[in-house]
Amino acid sequence: MATPDAPLLRALRGDRPERQPVWFMRQAGRSLPEYRELRVGTRMLDACLTPHLAAEITLQPIRRHDVDAAIFFSDIVVPLRLAGVDVVIEPGRGPVFADPVRTADDVARITAIDPADVAASAEPVREAARLVTAELDDAVPLIGFAGAPFTLAAYLVEGGPSKEHLRARGMMHADPASWHRLAGWLSRVSRAFLDAQIDGGAQAVQLFDSWAGSLSPATFREFIAPHSRAALEGIEVPRIHFGVGTGAFLDDMRLGGLADAVGVDWRMPLDEAAALVGPDVTLQGNLDPALLGAPWPVLAAHVDDVLARGRAARAHILNLGHGVPPDTDPDVLTRIVAHAHGELEAGELEAGELESGARA
């Protein structure tokens, strides 16, 4: 397991380590050819719940990119699967639920499931985390993660992916009691999933609220923040809270100071974000994923700009403003890490001419 001096853990405490901490959301899998080869013939949720596969996929980016943290390979709907909810991940579409949760009776049905069932069935998650932490060196911690209550509810209520999450947002106002019952249950489900990863050795956690940007600030504060806070409250490892499109209520993403770090998407410069959240929280982000396909000098200048703006925060973890697009050239990610670590300059190395030591 990583020592307290690991760069990522220092940054989460508010220190500025000599080595700039870097990791990427969706770095486990997605763009890696070794991931695609390993996944042949295995469905996504089956891979997530097969310990040796989940561990190997988690470790692949560490070997290839030299990032400063491993992010546990799983999916935000895995805890719902562990709770016995009928969900599949359809390739090219995403999570699809056989029985959407849209009425008060639906909410009563699903919340009758004891979140302790997630903990009881999560041994594959604990074992995968144990396998990962046994392989990591003392400078690289494992980050556990879970979906935030709103993002999980958005899938559950819609029955699958949606652009505007109209049914989920509508439930909040049409039937607030059912909404709070559902979101409260989801916060306990997410917490059980996080606890399983911590039991396996995760030394930090991140709560993902991918769809929070569809909410108004007032709606987030009333209907979402209390449940996200409940998912993280009492956790004894550092906590990162990330949402997409949350610039309008970025300070609320601190969850009343509960979050040690707030993730920022690509829309808001980090110096502006630092002015909003104040001096007692670390910022994470916020490279624009669209620039991963730009010429290297353009991308390197963008990395430098993000790093410079990140100095306005108490500490900064370099990451993307969202996840790695699946068609990303993995060598680009390796070059970003090397550049952030001071191992190459913007004008060095033509495409494909990575130093041999940067390869897996």
26 is catalytic: yes
Taking the C-alpha atoms of residue 132 and residue 229, their distance in angstroms, rounded to an integer, is 28
Which of 75, 195, 265, 331 is flagged as catalytic?
Answer: 75
**Residue 354 zone, left/alpha/beta (φ > 0; ψ -120 to 50; rest):** beta
Taking the C-alpha atoms of residue 26 and residue 143, their distance in angstroms, rounded to an integer, is 12
181 is catalytic: no
C-alpha torsion 72→74→80→85, nearest 10? -160
36 is catalytic: no
DSSP per-residue letters across 30-99? TT-HHHHHHHTT--HHHHHTSHHHHHHHHHHHHHHH--S-EE----TTHHHHHTT--EEEETTTEEEESS
Taking the C-alpha atoms of residue 113 and residue 210, their distance in angstroms, rounded to an integer, is 25
Which of 10, 35, 155, 260 is flagged as catalytic?
Answer: 155
Nearest to 11 by CA among 262, 180, 209: 262
10 is catalytic: no
Taking the C-alpha atoms of residue 86 and residue 76, their distance in angstroms, rounded to an integer, is 14
Which of 19, 39, 130, 181 is flagged as catalytic?
Answer: 39
Element (H, E) at 282: strand 282-287
Positive or negative, the CA dihedral 221, 227, 232, 233 is positive
Contacts of 310 (CB under 8 A, 6+ apart): 270, 283, 316, 318
Reading the block at residue 130, the tokens are: 């144990």
Which of 10, 26, 239, 314 is flagged as catalytic?
Answer: 26
* Coil vs helix vs strand at 27: coil
267 is catalytic: no
Taking the C-alpha atoms of residue 214 and residue 175, their distance in angstroms, rounded to an integer, is 19
Amino acid at 88: V
Which of 10, 30, 239, 314 is flagged as catalytic?
Answer: 30
Reading the block at residue 235, the tokens are: 């956790």
Instruction: Report, as residue numbers or ranges, the catalytic residues.
Output: 26, 30, 39, 75, 155
